[in-house]
Amino acid sequence: MVAMRRKIVEVLEGKTITPPPLWLMRQAGRYLPEYRATRAEAGGFLDLCYRPDLAVEVTLQPIRRYGFDAAILFSDILVIPDALKRNVRFTPGEGPQMDPIDAAGIRALKNDGALKHLSPVIETVRRLRDELPPETALLGFCGAPWTVATYMIAGHGTPDQAPARLFGYRDRATLEYLLAFLAEISAEYLIAQIDAGADAVQIFDSWAGVLGEEEFEDFAIKPVARMIEIVRSQRPQARIIAFAKGAGMNLRHYRQKTGADAIGLDWSVPLSFAVELQKEGPVQGNLDPMRVVAGGRALTDGIDAILQALGHGPLIFNLGHGITPEADPENVAALVRRVRGQADVTA
């Protein structure tokens, strides 16, 4: 029996497909009424992440509604610190919180049963591969070490991740120790997802954009490169997308230095620069999520500009960051039709 070639995997291998395959970051989420109903059934957010029956359901919801070319595992980047016993909790109206970690706590970290703690997430991946349409790719993911470290150090999200940046200036060696530790455990986690059926994985570095040039090299590139090196040493055919939000010109050599197959682009990356990056390999992105909220001409123009600039090379169409709760599900449907050339977006 010949294995089905899924479009997104083909793009990750360098193929140009017209129209390009698409999925949306946070495509399973609060903008969908069916998600909100399932979320209410779960109770806490982490309960939803750790219940395979419900996590499978919310992952499949946007596939049923829109027929995206990929489903992405429903989970969260902070399951890693949760597995490290950092008391992660999601407080309504306040965002994620955990016990902040200091230098002594970092040096005392142990990878003691973390993958066992994450076994419900791996079970979700396994069930998804069985339940997804055969033509639909399944994406796993994790947070990049720098982004996960910022939450661990501060104990919560901050506007510019100043606590982690300050920690790096004061005790660079300990921060680099933490990043290396997280790279190892995150690579193990990605390998487990691949073994469970993920066609490709994405590494989210949502806070890469707050780093200066030297720090970007040491805190964003090196740990992700180490993760990819570990994954490829054990799973040579693994396909990996790296998304360093806000990295700007630092993206010029990001693919080469990390070894990622494709790089995700946020909406601030000029399309002229994106074209240059695409010459080196596949890119993913980069529609502003606010265009999906606005709809109409703003949505149409944004989609068309990306397709015109990047549609003649290896492209996975996506947003430049996650879809927001304010997005109208009908605008998402219009986006799918437009990318696939099925209809115009109406004002």
Catalytic residue among 31, 50, 69, 76: 76
Q: What is the pTM of this model?
A: 0.96
Helix, strand, coil percentages, rounded to 5, for the chain: 55, 10, 35
Concerning whether 177 is annotated as a catalytic residue, the answer is: no
- Which of 6, 26, 86, 239 is flagged as catalytic? 26
Distance CA(116)–CA(171), nearest Å, equals: 31
What domains can you pick out in the chain, each with its CATH number?
7-339 (3.20.20.210)
Which residue among the candidates 39, 51, 86, 226 is catalytic per the annotation?
39
Let me know if 76 is a catalytic residue.
yes
Per-residue pLDDT of the chain (347 residues; tens, 9 = 90+): 345 789 999 999 999 999 999 999 999 999 999 999 999 999 889 999 999 999 999 999 999 999 999 999 999 999 999 999 999 999 877 889 999 999 999 999 999 999 999 999 999 999 999 999 999 999 999 999 999 999 999 999 999 999 999 999 999 999 999 999 999 999 999 999 999 999 999 999 999 999 999 999 999 999 999 999 999 999 999 999 999 999 999 999 999 999 999 999 999 999 999 999 999 999 999 999 999 999 999 999 999 999 999 999 999 999 999 999 999 999 999 999 999 998 654 44
Task: Name the nearest CA neighbour of 140 among 194, 221, 91, 64.
Answer: 194
Catalytic residue among 31, 50, 151, 189: 151
CA distance 133 to 131: 7
Q: Known catalytic residue: 39?
A: yes
Hey, what long-range contacts does 94-99 have (CB within 8 A, 24 or more apart)? 94/156, 95/156, 95/157, 96/151, 96/156, 96/157, 97/155, 97/156, 98/151, 98/152, 98/155, 98/156, 99/155
